[in-house]
Structure 1
Amino acid sequence: MGYVDEVLASVIEKNPSQPEFHQAVKEVLESLRPVIDANEEAYRKDALLERLVEPDRQFMFRVPWVDDKGQVQVNRGFRVQFNNSIGPYKGGLRLHPSVNLGIIKFLGFEQIFKNSLTGLPIGGGKGGSDFDPKGKSDREVMAFCQSFMTELCKYIGADTDVPAGDIGTGAREIGYMFGQYKKIRGLYEGVLTGKGLSYGGSLARTEATGYGLLYLTAEMLKCNGSDIAGKTVCVSGAGNVAIYAIQKAQQLGAKVVTCSDSTGWVYDPDGIDVAALQEIKEVKRARLTEYKNYRPNAEYHEGRGVWSVKCDVALPCATQNELTLDDAKTLVANGVTAVAEGANMPTTYEATQYLLENKVLFAPGKAANAGGVATSALEMSQNSERLSWTFEEVDSKLQGIMVNIFHNMDDAAKRYGFEGNYVVGANIAGFEKVANAMTAQGIC
C-alpha cells in the first residue's frame, strides 16, 4: 500500500461518520499522487500528510440563547483551526441546520489550499453552528450571535484566527458577533471580515466570491480559445455567491438563464433579472416562487433541475454535492463546455471525474471561489493599515488574484503532465506552498 492509500485509510478509520471530510481528503490526495510519489521518502519520514489531514485543534461548544417566547434554546458551535503554516487561520462561519463536525472539517481542509492559492498569507480554518437564522427575529439572531461569540472569542484574534461570513452568516450576524467580541475582549481589531463599511469592512467584499468566480472562468475560457461573452450560463443557488456571479456574468456579455433555492428553481429564457432576484432574496428574504411576479415569462419548478437546462457554462453556487453524476451526464449530453464551482465542493467526486473524462473545462471550488477569502484578506490588510480602499481598487486587486490563480493551477498541471486538468493543478499549486512552509518550520 502506497503512502497516499495509507493516509486515506487512516483518515476514514479515525474520522468515522464524516463522509464530506473523507471526500475532500480523497479528492485532494488522489490528485497529489505525482507530487507525493516524487517526494515520498521525505514526506513519509516527516509524516507530512498525516500532519496535513489532522487539524491543529478543533473546538465544539454549547450555545444557549433565549428565543422571543422566553424559551431557552441550545445549539452546538464549532471552530476547526486546520493549518496556520502560511498565516493566521482564515475561514467562514456557517450557520445552517446541516452543520456538523465533519462538514466543518471538510470546509476547513479545503480552505488550506484555497487560501494558499490566493498568494496571500492566510492559513485554513472553518467554523459555524447548527443554528438556522431563517425565520428568526433580529433579536433572536443577536441573542444567538452574542452567545456564540462569548465562547468563540477565547480562540480567535487578528493575528491568530480571523473568521468570516458563510452560508447563513451575513453582515447582520457579523455585526452582532463583532460587537460582542469587542465588548468582551476590549479590542477593536480586524478579528472578523465581512464587516459593515462603517466599522472596518471592505468595499467589494459582498460581490467578491461571485465576481471572482467569473474572473477565473473568463480567464479559463480565454486561455482555451473561447470567450464568456455570448455564452448561455446556468447558475444554481440564489444567495450571495449566485447573485453576484449572475450580475458579473451578464456584465461580461453572457446570458444567465437559471437560479435556485432550497425549494425550487427558476428558468428565465430572457436572462435572470438580478434586481428582482436581489429584492426577493436580500430585501424580502423570500422564496423564488415570487420571481414570476416580476418576470411572467419565467418558469418556476419545485425541487431540483437546474442542470437539465441546455447551457455552455455551468456554475454550481449552492451547496456541497449538488451536482451529481447524472447531472454531469445531462450537462455533457447538452453540450456544456465549462463548469466552475462557486460553492465549496458542489460537484460529487464521480461527477467531477466524468466531466474531466469528457474534456469539459472544470475549475474546482478551491480555485474558482477563492475570491471571497482573497477579498477578506484584503480587508485584513486595510484594517491593519487603518485604510479603506475604493471599490475599483479592491475589484482590480481581486481580478488580478483570480487571473493569477488560474495561471498557477494551469502551470502546475502542465509541470506534472496533466495539462488541462485544473483539479490536479489547483491541488498541487496550493499544496506545494503549504508543504514547503511546513517543512521549513520543522515538526510542529
Structure 2
Amino acid sequence: MSEHRMVADRTQALKWHPDKVPAEQREEATERFAQISEAYEVLSDEEKRAVYDQYGEEGLKGGGPGGPGGATFTHTAGDPFDLFASFFGNMGGGGGGGQRIKVTTSGGDFGGDIDMSEIFSQAFGGGFGMGGMGGGGQQGGARRGGGGFGGQGGSLYMGDPNVIELTPSDFPSQGDKWTYLVEFYAPWCGHCQQLASKYKQVAASLRGNVKVGAVNCDDFGDLCSQYGVKGFPTIKAFIPGQASPKEYKGDRSAKAMSDWALSLIPSSVQKLKSAQDLDQLLKSCSEGRKVTSGLCAVLITDKPTTSPLYKALSTLYSGKIAFAEVQASSQPVIERLGGAPDKLPSLKLVCNGDLQLIEQYQGEMKSGPLLSTFSSYENGRKCASAIRLDPSMDFAKLKPSLLKQIIKDKGIECKGCSEKADFANRIREWLTTGS
C-alpha cells in the first residue's frame, strides 16, 4: 500500500474517527486510523524506539549499522483510536527529533510503508516535539509543537457551575475531607468530547455530596503524569483518608458514574439501636471531650441506609461534630429524643450531651442549609453559650477554650486568669456569689 497522509490540521484528523463518520465512510476511516496505530506501535515499543533513536530509519529497516538485521515490525490489531489517544497522552521525552520514520507493516489489507513523520506533522501542524506527558514540553510537555493541541482546545467545562476546573494549586490534598471525582482529559480527545455532556450531568447530580472536578492535561501535563494518567479520558476518585485515588473502570453512563462516586463517600455516622448507644453518643459531646463543638446531631429516619449527604457531612465535620442516625421504629431512643417527630427525616441537635438543650432543626434537608447550620456550631461558641452551669459541676473537666468562652459569654471579669484552674475557679465563684 502506498504512503498515506493525514489532512493538514487536527480537525480534519479527528474527522476520520470511525465513530464520527457516516456508515459509508467507516471502512476508509478505520483504515486511516489503523495506519496511525501501526506507526504508534513502533514509537510505543521501547526496543523499536531505541533502535530508531540510535540508528534512525535505516535501523528500523535493518539496513543500518548494528540494525536488527532485516526485521519487519508487525502491527498487532487493536482499536486504532484507543491507540491514537494513548499515543498523544503517553509519549515519552526525546527520540525522533523530527526525522522521517517509515514503518513497514504487514498483515491483512494494511501492509506497506507509512511515513509516520508526515502523518503527525501534517495532522497536527509544524514540528512534532515528542514531549508528551513524560516531560520535555511546555507545562509538563502536554502542549505539542506548531499548530498542535494547545491552540485548539480550551476547556470542555468552561462556565459549568458544577465542574471545578482544577489546577495544581487547588487540587485535592490529603487533608481534604470531601470526596472528589476528577476527570483527566484533553480538549482534542474525541472520547473526552463525547463524555463531557454526561460528566456535566454527573456533576449536577452529585452536587453537595461529592466535589466534581476536571484537569485539562494540555495545560497541566505534570499533574496528569503525577497521577499515572496514560490515556484520555481517565476518571479517578480521591477519598478522604486514602493515600491513593481509585480509578473508575465501569460503564460511562451518567448514572453508573454517579452511583460509583456516591458509594465511595466515607462515613462517621453512628447507628443508634439502644438507649445505651445514645448515652455513649451524648457522652462524647459532653464537656467538650471528643468533639470540639460540643454538638451531637441525630437524624431520625425510616430509610435503611444512610444518605450520601449525611455521610459526606459526617466526614467533613469529623472531630468537630458527632453524627448519629436512628430508625424511627426504635422507640427507646426516640422517646428520649422527645418522641416521634411529625415528619421524617427529622434532625435533632443536642449541645453538650444535655437532652434538656435539644433543638429541632427547622431547615431543608439539603446541602446548603445543613452546611450553614453545622458551620454555625463548628467553633464551639454556640454550645458553650448554651451550657447549663451549676456550682457542683467539675469545671476542671472542661477544655480551657470552653471555659474561656463561658467567661466571655457571661461577661465575667477574670483579672489575672491565665491557667485553666483560674478560669474554672472564677466561674464557680461567680455562680456561688453572683459576682
Higher-RCO chain (CA-CA 8 Å, sequence separation at least 6)? 1
TM-score by length of 1: 0.24
**Over alpha carbons, which structure has the higher Rg?**
2
TM-score by length of 2: 0.24
